[in-house]
Amino acid sequence: MTEIKLNHICKVEGHAALSLRITGGKVVKCELGTTEGARFFEGLVIGRKWDELKEITSRICGICSVAHSMTSIKAVEDAFGITPSAQTKLLRELMTIGERIRSHATHLYLLSLPDFVGCESAIEMAPRYKKELERALRLIKLGNEIVIKLGGRQMHPVASVVGGFTGVPSKEDVACLRGLMQTARKDAVETLKLFLALDYPLLLRDVEHVCVYQKDALSILDGVIVSDDGLHVRPGAYGELIEEYVVPHSTAKFAGHDGHDYMLGALARMNNSWQFVAPDIRRLVKDSKHAFPSKNPFHNLIAQAAELAHWVDVGQEQLDRLELRPEAVVDVRPKAGVGVAVTEAPRGLLFHEYHFDEQGICTECRIMTPTSQFIRAQEADVKLYVQQLVDAGKDKDVIVSEVEKLIRAFDPCFSCSAHFLDVDWQES
């Protein structure tokens, strides 16, 4: 019997651990879970007024604070019957694009790329891959500047509120963003070329890929929920389809749909909406050795790189036609009701549901983050991959390294930090 325990998985956001048991050449135990203390964000908003919720829930994640803020605002607006203006919708999408760019650039270059170039970290990469890291930093800066100039600050934006924005960026700010976006186009394309050129392990499993979908564009904030297995539901019904449950080895909930696991994130979005990606980006992928749709979780990295290039294009187009005017925030009149919003965070579907009384006080809350939904699929893929490695006669060091590579390819957000990996290997 062989036991592998990864007590601290490095270069991911948060604390996670993996426990494996191999008996007679077969993987008989695979448990991937979060090892952090419970954070009780759903409980923290109970008893709070409607205008406090986005300030609280945006703190769930420093990486995805814009996504939580936008989803929270949309859920409150859904409960109170508020329809935001076209300008508000455009500014929200632009700010979300900024977060998407910086999140994907951070994950691709600083967390996953070291796995493919034989380095422990981005710091170790620096002497040999200075050009690539400078490219990453430019893209991250672009994302940060978009969020700062539209949201008021780099993390936990304050300018976006229920019913609108407290202010709009100046003409000078918009001109600055246009210049940064024009420069970013080349960086984004080079990023896609880089990740198309990498060699990825072959790992295929028939798993359902779920995302928000619009019939004429790649979705980021609005749409219905679809899958490559025929799922098609409105956002308000999504929560009813998902069964959340607790497992002994994780402080994060697991989730399932119709009794099985499912996958979210960039790969799911590419698999379901590839036809809406810019033609030149699709051509680059077509001319490579890879293709979408794909069931290989390692290809989530290619999907993120393709998305990054796509959203730089869309952001450029939106900034070029942006004509802002002062606009008052919609007058909010609270009422008893239920509000639901489902958006696409960088890592996949983000679900917020609030129940309010007549004064607009939150009485119930349910939040499902992407990682809590796809961790079951991630666990199944890890088990399959370890079995492939065992069958191929790989030793302990190779298995540990490859498992880390796979886990990071998913871009999980267990919380908001990174830790060194300590492996406890027992063999008898």
Per residue in 158-217, pLDDT (tens digit) is 899 999 999 999 999 999 999 999 999 999 999 999 999 999 999 999 999 999 999 889
Q: How far is CA 260 from the centre of its chain?
A: 21
pLDDT bucket at 14, cuts 50 / 70 / 90: low
Residue 90 has what pLDDT? 95
CATH H superfamily, domain 41-388: Cytochrome-c3 Hydrogenase, chain B (1.10.645.10)
pLDDT for 406: 94
pLDDT at 18: 82
CA 415 to centroid of chain Cα atoms: 12
CA dist 279 to 196, 265, 290, 311, 407, Å? 16, 21, 16, 13, 30
**Max CA separation in the chain (angstroms):** 71
Residue, of 253 and 351, whose pLDDT is higher: 351
Where in the chain are the domains? 41-388
Neighbour-count burial of 347, counting CB atoms closer than 10 A to its CB (0-12 exposed, 13-18 middle, 19+ buried): buried
Cα–Cα distance measured from residue 344 to residue 375, given in angstroms and rounded to the nearest whole number: 17
Is 354 within 8 Å of 339 (Cβ atoms)? yes
**Helix, strand, or coil (residue 105):** helix
> Helix, strand, coil: what percent of the chain each, to 5?
45, 20, 35
**pTM score, two decimals?**
0.91
